[in-house]
Structure 1
Amino acid sequence: MDLATLIGIVGAFGIVTTAIFLGGSFGQFIDVPSVLIVVGGGLAATLIRFQLSDIAAAFVTGFKVALAGKNANPRDLITEISNLGEIVRKSGPLGLENVDVSDPVLAKGVQYIADGYELEFIRESMERERDLQLSRLSEGKRVFKALGDSAPAFGMIGTLVGLVQMLANMDDPAAIGPSMAVALLTTLYGALISNILCLPLVDKLDAKFDVDDLNQTLIIDGVCQIRESKSPALIKEMLIAYLPDKLRAELADAA
Structure 2
Amino acid sequence: YVLHQAALPSVARSVKDPRATHQTCASGTLNMLVAAHEAGVQRFVYAGSSSAYGDTPTLPKHENMATNPRSPYAVAKLAGEQYAQVFPALFGLETVVLRYFNVFGPRQDPASFYSAVIPIFISAALKGRAPTINGDGGQTRDFTYVENIVAANLLACFTSTEGVTGEVFNVGCGERISVTDLWAIIQAQLGVKIEAEYAPPRQGDVRDSLADLSKISDGLGYKALVSLNEGLQLTADWLKAL
Higher strand share: 2
Q: What TM-score does the superposition give when structure 1 sets the normalisation length?
A: 0.27
Larger Rg over CA atoms: 1
Highest RCO, 1 vs 2 (Cα 8 Å, sep ≥ 6): 1
Q: What TM-score does the superposition give when structure 2 sets the normalisation length?
A: 0.28
